[in-house]
Structure 1
Amino acid sequence: MPQILPVLLGGDANVYGMARSFYETCGVCSLAVGQRALPALAHSRLVHMAARDAAFAQDSVFTATLLGLAELHPGKTRVLVSCADGYTSLLARHADELRGAYRFACPPPAALARLADKQRFAAACRAAGLRTPRTVTLCPGGCLPPLPFDWPIIVKPADSTAWQGCRFPGKRKVWLVRDAAALRQILDAAAGYTGALLAQEYIPGPDTRLGVVNAYCAQDGSVPWLVQGQPLLQERTPEGMGNYAAVLVEPTRQDTALLNALRGLLQAAGWRGYANFDLKYDRRGEPVLFELNPRQGRASYYCDAAGAPLARPLVEDLLCGGPITPPGLRPAVWHTAPWGVVRRQCPNKLVLRRASLLRRRGRSRVQLLAPGEGTARRVWFWVRQAAYYRKK
């Protein structure tokens, strides 16, 4: 294998998980590039923030920064991986300019428009025989239209990239809204957001009815790699709501019918590279798809915990020329919250007992502390873990 240099676009926990996967799969450290470095990369030996620029999301700055970084590392095979929605869009737009300097797998703009756009995603799912929640589009600051479903409802932004640059009191990734008065407050507070808001039918049930799927789509158009996890708990803070705090992976509970349908959805769209799906099983056990994220998910290190390293399909596809090894899974549990928090708040005690048994057998991985990290990283990690008990 050539000497590789992973270059990761972003600065959050997703970047750390991807860097850890590259380190444990290929024995290499990564560089990160983005608008800013978040605390998740603090004091790490696995990933170094090589460039940060508040203007990095501008097209000209994006390409100039990456091409300049490539010139600083001649003699290495530079592998470029987006770890954020907005950077995937930028990479898709500038793929031709960057192709000579980097190897990467990225969905074409047409595929992004079809699947990553939350408003068009539902139509693509219907064509593939997949269900999504009933949805009404709302305008921040606008009037409340009649809703064809009952309260409570879910409210979330349609444009994740525009949402990241928006700041206002009470901002969240997703809201559970119980009445029209609360919805009116959200629409007024988000008036500075330039995109649409989506009001969606609420699918009732505990966190353990949620599902998450990571996929990798090869350059030949095939989708040989999909891994499903069962969340045990979501983050409970306003800014973290919608992110997973713990995920269980069971090889015997991979939903084959669902995974085959998702494979067909991605192939029909001409997708390339990583994709991440969030879903929930309703009372009848039918999966309801919420969205596709055009990247690996923030909890995607659960794949590595289960014996399916996230970096492997990309390396086999782009560097080795395929074929991609289908994931061989083992039971495992991944968590970013302290296990005491997971144990106290997981709503399904039967599933929790299974996860606890795996943890006692050494089948668990924590997200943000890889073996071999130094003292400063360990201190940062344990301070962060202690903070969970104050904010939960």
Structure 2
Amino acid sequence: MKTYLRTYLPLHLIFLFTAIVLFLPFLFTNELVLWRDSQFHLARFHELILEQQNGQFFPDIVRYSGKNAWGYGLNFFYPAYLFYPLLFLWRLTDSPVTSIIVFNIVIIYFALWSNFSIIYKITSKLKFSFVFSITYVLTAGVGNAIADNVPISRIEYMTQYASNIVILLAPVIILSFYNIIFLKKNSTWLRAAIYSSMAVMLSVPTTLGIVLTVIGMVVVAGVKHQLSWMTIKKLFLTLVVILSLSSVFIFPFLQQRKANNWANLPNNPDLFGADFNTFFNRLFGLGDALSLTIIIFTVWLILSKKFNSTYKFLGISYLASLLFLYSNLFPWYLVNPALSGALQMTYRWNFLPALFGSLYVAFAVNDLIKVKKSVLPIVYLSLLYLAFNAMMLNTFAKKFHLDGFNNSTNQLILPTKENIRTDGLFN
């Protein structure tokens, strides 16, 4: 225990400090800045609280919030079991704002530690693992922020809320399977199973992308004759454990799916690789923290004559994943009808470029720290500042107090034309 505390306690404190700093603006003002999806997620949480107050702890059909247009399908595509800590905190404090902020602080801290621990498990490189975790969590997310292009602020105003959480934890799943499939080490199979079951119970669309990524790795390993019988057995065991851990969610809703007609989920075809402008804006936009960091390090690595095949592979993978998700180079119009009900938007799979880009930055810092020792704290403080600044601007530039409930009727007050702002924010 003494060795553990001496080695990891400083990291736990740094990760906790990082998570708290990001949300300090909201803790100071007790405000949330909300986006279009916020009304949906708040209504979902309010619905679940009302169900609990009426003795229904395992969500079934939506009854109270008015969000019942999708019937049983709502609870399948937007499961809520892992939000129970937030719901109980909400009921205990009777403060939705504070509850969401505290819950998000825990999520960021948990994501930072989880991503650090999986990389450290594979590489045994402390600084490398730290840089990867910080870079990934502070730059990965669904979509972009309003005032600053730092996606971490998206988790606060709850756009694609559950998908954002899965994206933050995606490296643990993907790298755990990578460790099993390609490195022939079975030490991460249980971690892969636990985090995969969490993903299933948070966001089906984002989990779909993770599943396809893992299947792709299995196919590549099979083609290269790197898939041993022992690996196949371990993968099968992992799948069984995933199904077992998430069965409380999967089987009841599969039964509901079979017994009921579900309406289609909403779909926006324009977000399926609209055009090349989206790709170029994301790659060369100075507001995108990850792309900007990669460009700076690429120049530095070339000048230092340290740009090798690893950076070429990760750089090409980063560009390819951006092209795949954010341009019309990939014919999304061919798969859109089949995937629209589950994927909805391609940026639910943003973990792909975020993973490659964060590995690029981690390798770069690991190499360049020999040239300039201060590169590590500079990267950490710079990314933390950009993320904090996004939170700060999105809080103080638009002072909207959350007052979405009428206690006398115990019903959610949905936004109207009178209280919706032109930029999509609402009280």
Both proteins in one fold, TM over 0.5: no
TM-score normalized by the length of structure 2: 0.26
TM-score normalized by the length of structure 1: 0.28
Which gives a bigger RCO, structure 1 or 2 (Cα 8 Å, sep 6+)?
2
Greater helix share, structure number: 2
Greater strand share, structure number: 1
Name which one, 1 or 2, has greater alpha-carbon Rg: 2
